[in-house]
Structure 1
Amino acid sequence: MPTIPGGSSVADRAYHVQQVLARLGPGAHALSTIATEASLDDSTTSRILTAGVYRKVYGRPQRGMYQLARPLGDLAYALPNGPTRDEAQQALRGLRAATDGGLAFLYMKSPGLTAGRQCADMAVGDSDLVELGMTPRDVLSITRSLRTGASGRAILAYLPEVIQTHVLAEPVPDEAGPGVIRDGEQLAASLAEIRELGFALGYQECMKNWNSIAAPVFDGDSIAASVLLLRPAMQMQRAPAAYIEATKYAAATLSEN
């Protein structure tokens, strides 16, 4: 049986099964299919899925069939104390107005044990997202690595050390920008800096010619999301203090203390 990435603990297996379900795509999948893709036996996979159904991470539309509990785009508003869509839009539009038309996004931490992020909402005005190399469907449905980009690192900095270790061991995504942090020690140091300063900066980290500012959003004592501001590198070679404060303010308005 192939080795499970990251180890063989219960948490590792649960994390792996959720990654498999996300990779299999929308709709329900048979227990046997999930077990095969996860390189686990049916009994172990069944226990993980049953526990996930109880915690509403997975849905079971019929006997022996499992799927992610909600469409990815709806997960942002599933936290007990999380922001409503109206609150998110108000915060993002406010950030856009305060930063001379910057592109504003809300990235939620992926549910359960999955170490990723997904865009839940945005305020981009009339901007064509194709210029960012993505479509609205892509933005709202793709789970992206936490090791790449200011929005990912702003979440990763506040996650448990065991998850940080998993993420830092991941390869740099092929689509990463020229400014991506490749060195593991430098990446770890950036997380400590984010915790100290309360924000993250990205210089062409995810995409060429785009710089970014991100700030964490909390659900009580737990990290839930990050607010991201994107500006063309030619317009924002270095992040102005006013833009940093506006990004932190937007994140704070969406945080539940």
Structure 2
Amino acid sequence: MGNHLTAPDAAGAATTALPTGRAPKGTPVRRRPVCRPRDTARATGSGHAERVFLVQAAFAELGGSAHGPGKIAEFTGLDDSVVYRILQSGIYQRIFERVDRGLYRLRTSTAQLAFTALDHRLDGAAAQTVLRELRMATDGGLVFLYMVAPFSGAQRQCVDMAVGDSDLAELGMTTRDVLSVTRSLRTGASGRTILAYLPQKVQQRVLAEPVPDQAGPGVYRDNDALSASLAEVRDVGHALGYEECMAGWNSCAAPIIWDGAIMGSVLLLKPKPVMPEAPEAYIEATKEAAAELSRHGAARPSADEA
């Protein structure tokens, strides 16, 4: 008998031995397809899909306005040519856009994906219930719900509150103060709580911003002290503020995290004479309110994952 070779199947494994000699005349020869490595990845689709997701995630992790294929390749560990092909394909799929020669960024149309993902995650009535319960548990404290602002970069925005009959005048603030002070992530317990869980590149950008002129006397002006406070927030799961946003008011805040991403924070605010130091019961109530809002927004495991 002549020598035999083995032919790989679609998974690359050896299959039926094929003779090396010529088959007898008139005998049909069945040729088995030989899959090359690139065909193997294409057969399942998972390899290519994972690479696409890696490139998309790189833009979020790297921060900044735009990046080239080389930078993305270095960050993801993918080949430059693979990244370039994904970017080019993404342009036609309206996922990426080329903003300059060799530089790309995510299209704003990708925000629609985020809005769709957030839709129905948190019912307004449910959030208001959580905030009111926190107000009751803290003996009439002023409670605010801050979320990461979607259209103003690394800032925050107050989207709901439980303050009873209180208004801005009672807090000694004007609408201008609210827009200039409480939106900064480097000011106040709620801002620092959000900032603590953002990527380091975003933190550095916020630390480079000036302290709002209207900030309170307790605001962190030294960046080293501010950075240390962020590490403490991550360690204990909450932040305490002492006259940071305005004189005469102290605060406690805890993070709202959905699927591993920081979305906002719950803030408890009380006059300094009433709360010179936040009692442990107030801190735990604030953290539980934030945890409840986190549970409302987190993805539920499917039946297959359960």
* TM-score, length-scaled by structure 1: 0.70
Residue 36 of structure 1: aligned partner: none
Equivalent residue for 2:107, pick from 45, 51, 55: 51
Structure 1 gaps of 5+ residues are 1-9, 15-42, 58-68, 70-74
After TM superposition, give the deviation of residue 174 of structure 1 in Å: 0.6
Residue 64 of structure 2: aligned partner: 12
Q: How does 1:46-85 map to 2 (within 5 A)?
A: 51-56=107-112, 79-80=118-119, 82-85=121-124
2:255 touches 2:266 (CA, 8 Å); kept in 1? yes
Output the amino acid matched with 2:108.
Answer: G
After TM superposition, give the deviation of residue 135 of structure 1 in Å: 5.8
Structure 2 gaps of 5+ residues are 1-61, 67-98, 299-306
Among all aligned residue pairs of Structure 1 and Structure 2, give the percentage whose two residues are the same amino acid: 60
Corresponding residue SS for 1:13: coil
1:76-104 residue CA offsets vs partner (Å, 9 max, x unmatched): x9824642111110111000000010000
- Residues of 1 paired with 2:119 and 2:175: CA distance? 26
Higher alpha-carbon Rg: 2
Equivalent residue for 2:214, pick from 160, 175, 183: 175
1:32-85 residue CA offsets vs partner (Å, 9 max, x unmatched): xxxxxxxxxxx66xx99981134239xxxxxxxxxxx9xxxxx9x982464211
Cα 1:129–1:12 shift into 2, 3 Å: same
- Residues of 1 paired with 2:286 and 2:136: CA distance? 11
Cα 1:81–1:188 shift into 2, 3 Å: farther
Residue 129 of structure 2: aligned partner: 90
1:168-194 residue CA offsets vs partner (Å, 9 max, x unmatched): 111101110000011111000000000
Q: How does 1:71-220 map to 2 (within 5 A)?
A: 79-80=118-119, 82-111=121-150, 114-134=153-173, 144-220=183-259
Q: How many residues align?
A: 202
After TM superposition, give the deviation of residue 113 of structure 1 in Å: 7.6
State the Cα RMSD in Å: 3.1
1:7-54 residue CA offsets vs partner (Å, 9 max, x unmatched): xxx94337xxxxxxxxxxxxxxxxxxxxxxxxxxxx66xx99981134
Corresponding residue SS for 2:112: coil
1:213 touches 1:247 (CA, 8 Å); kept in 2? yes
1:116 touches 1:145 (CA, 8 Å); kept in 2? yes
After TM superposition, give the deviation of residue 213 of structure 1 in Å: 0.2
Cα 1:113–1:162 shift into 2, 3 Å: farther
1:201-253 residue CA offsets vs partner (Å, 9 max, x unmatched): 00000011000000000111100010000000010000100000010010011
Output the amino acid matched with 1:12.
Answer: G
Output the amino acid matched with 1:13.
Answer: S
Corresponding residue SS for 1:155: helix
After TM superposition, give the deviation of residue 127 of structure 1 in Å: 1.2
Cα 1:233–1:143 shift into 2, 3 Å: closer
Corresponding residue SS for 1:131: helix
Cα 1:168–1:137 shift into 2, 3 Å: closer
Output the amino acid matched with 2:129.
Answer: Q
After TM superposition, give the deviation of residue 112 of structure 1 in Å: 6.5
1:93 touches 1:123 (CA, 8 Å); kept in 2? yes
Q: How does 1:220-235 map to 2 (within 5 A)?
A: 220-235=259-274
